[in-house]
Amino acid sequence: MEALIIVDMQRDFMPGGALPVPDGDKIIPTIEELIEKFKKKGALIVATRDWHPPNHISFKEQGGPWPKHCVQNTEGAEIVVKLPQNAIIISKADKPDKEAYSGFEGTNLAGILKEKDVKKVYICGVATEYCVKATALDALKHGFDVYIIRDAVKGIKPEDEEKALKELEENGAKIISSAEL
């Protein structure tokens, strides 16, 4: 079984949002095409979301590095790609005192994928050097074959994004293009 993991495609990470990824919205059509392709294959569609309480430790007001973003049940936390009915939504970093960039951290994502006999995960979304990277490294640690869809991820800083992709490749992830799928 294969899974498409869509990382943090939420309003606050898009241009105009609280913590924008430059051109984050440009990958929406590509991801929506991927969703259609994976749906046809009968693959599992997973979407992670940053799901912070209003007093989350990662916010500047609490001494963290980030502006307030993706607060639970607000517009900023809404997922901006059209998901199928049966998509699995994984909420992460939902406790005030714990940061979690990876979709596997503090969630049951690994259990869900193992239960469905998933072997290969295809990862897209934002931000490449934060949540995409952390999710992909954890997927490798859990023993999945990991594919990063290069034209369906976006980073906050291009040089950090390139560095992250290199690190992922060194750790065994394969960097592919959506056209190959």
Active-site positions? 8, 92, 131
In 14-165, beta strands by DSSP E = 44-50, 88-92, 120-126, 145-154
Q: Does 8 bind ligand VGL (CB under 6 A)?
A: yes
* Dist CA 115 CA 63 (whole Å): 38
* Helix or strand holding residue 28 (H, E): helix 28-41
Instruction: Give me the least distance between CB of 26 and Zn ion, in Å please.
Output: 21
Minimum CB distance to ligand VGL smaller for 3 or for 18: 18
Buried b (16+ CB within 10 A) or exposed e, 100-137: bbbbbebbebbeebeeeebeebbbbbbbbbbbbbbbbb
Number of residues that bind ligand VGL (CB under 6 A): 8
Q: Which of 38, 51, 66, 122 binds ligand VGL (CB under 6 A)?
A: 66
| Interaction residues for ligand VGL, span 72-131 (CB under 6 A) | 126-127, 130-131
**Shortest separation between residue 41's beta carbon and ligand VGL, angstroms:** 26
Q: Which residues bind ligand VGL (CB under 6 A)?
A: 8, 50, 58, 66, 126-127, 130-131
Chain residues that interact with Zn ion, rule: CB under 5 A: 50
